[in-house]
Amino acid sequence: MDFVWQISAWVEAFHIISVMFWMAGMYYLPRLFVYHAEAIEGGREHRVFEKMEANLLRIIMNPAMIAAWTFGLLLFTRPGFALGAGFWLWTKLALVVILSGYHGFLAVERKKFLSGVAPHSSRFYRMINEIPPVLTVFIVILAVVKPF
Ligand code: HEM
């Protein structure tokens, strides 16, 4: 039993590490979109952002999201865990699904930027930039405090 507990602790450590990498990218990519859209709006050089955005998604965000899901689902499938867990778990998973949808939205936006026209205004990206931090606050409280 000690062995199972130790493995699960390692999986949880790597779950949190991958979530941190994933969130770092989720906070930064819309900020890059703000600068990218501003450069296009101001008629300035903007091609450099295309490479930065592509690399951020390919090297950091996509692998980190896959790792966060993999380690999270491993924790989820521990014997007896999901059935014994409260409503907090299902609420957390729902918020994580929304977060993953937001990730997909950002990936589609990045591709649209390649046409040289900003798909949305810099103000729009400034506003949606608030979504991941707000979701993070709720997800971490649900996972750690387990209020219901
Ligand atoms: C990607 C899909 C995810 C799945 C399937 C998932 C699932 C899980 C599961 C089953 C646990 C174990 C909970 C326990 O043993 O009580 C856990 C722990 C945790 N998760 Fe996630 N999670 C995901 C994403 C996230 C995200 C996006 C965050 C933060 C923004 C997060 C933050 C945490 C934290 C802080 C813990 C440690 C809780 C504790 O034991 O104190 N998770 N996760």
pLDDT at position 41: 95
- Ligand 1 centroid – CA 18 distance (Å): 11
Task: Please check the confidence at residue 89 and state whether its pLDDT lies above 90.
Answer: yes
Task: Please check the confidence at residue 1 and state whether its pLDDT lies above 80.
Answer: no
Report DSSP letters for the chain, one per residue: -HHHHHHHHHHHHHHHHHHHHHHHHHHHHHHHHHHHHHHHHTT---HHHHHHHHHIIIIIIHHHHHHHHHHHHHHHTSTTHHHH--HHHHHHHHHHHHHHHHHHHHHHHHHHHTTSS-SS-HHHHHHHTTHHHHHHHHHHHHHHH---
Average pLDDT over residues 82-90: 94
pTM > 0.85: yes or no: yes
Check residues 1 and 89 and name the one with the higher pLDDT.
89
Ligand 1, atom 23: closest residue by C-alpha: 72
What pLDDT band is residue 4 in, cutting at 50, 70 and 90? confident
Task: Please check the confidence at residue 93 and state whether its pLDDT lies above 80.
Answer: yes
- Ligand 1 centroid – CA 3 distance (Å): 21
Which of 92, 100, 138 should be mutated for ligand 1, with most atoms under 8 A from CB? Answer: 92
pLDDT at position 33: 98
pLDDT in tens, 130-140: 999 999 999 99
